[in-house]
Amino acid sequence: MININDFKKVELRVGTIIAVDEFPEAEKPAYKLKIDFGGYGIKQTSAQITDHYSPKELLNRQVVAVVNFPPKKIASFSSEALILGAEGQESGIVLLELDTPIQNGAKIS
């Protein structure tokens, strides 16, 4: 169990995917993404979301991500954010979706 103060340390922000590339070096199928978080800058990440999304479907899509984890090395790539999604038993990861566009960098609360 964590308390509310622990949860408040997690920076959840809205960003727009501005670039999508294949990531053949990844252990599991994944994309390399660049995400614009407004005043929090552009961060890169990898995401194992190839089951449900093509690069074309991801480009310009808004996502929710954790932006204050330390970078994580994945193959030769440094991941700087963690996109949030729900993991189905056999269906892969489905991204959390906003029902209305909002400014990049908006805080999730």
Each residue's pLDDT tens digit, 56-84:
999 999 999 999 999 999 988 999 999 99
Q: Which of 75 and 21 is assigned the larger pLDDT?
A: 21
Task: Name the percent of the chain lying above pLDDT 90.
Answer: 85
CA distance 36 to 104: 7
Residue among 96, 86, 82, 10 nearest 43 (CA): 82
Q: Where are the alpha helices (DSSP H) in the chain?
A: 4-8, 55-58
The 8-class DSSP code of residue 60 comes to: T
Cα first-last separation, the chain:
19
By the 8 A CB rule, do 94 and 83 touch? no
CA distance 81 to 17: 12
Looking at domain 9-95, its CATH class is: mainly beta
Residue ranges covered by each domain of the chain: 9-95
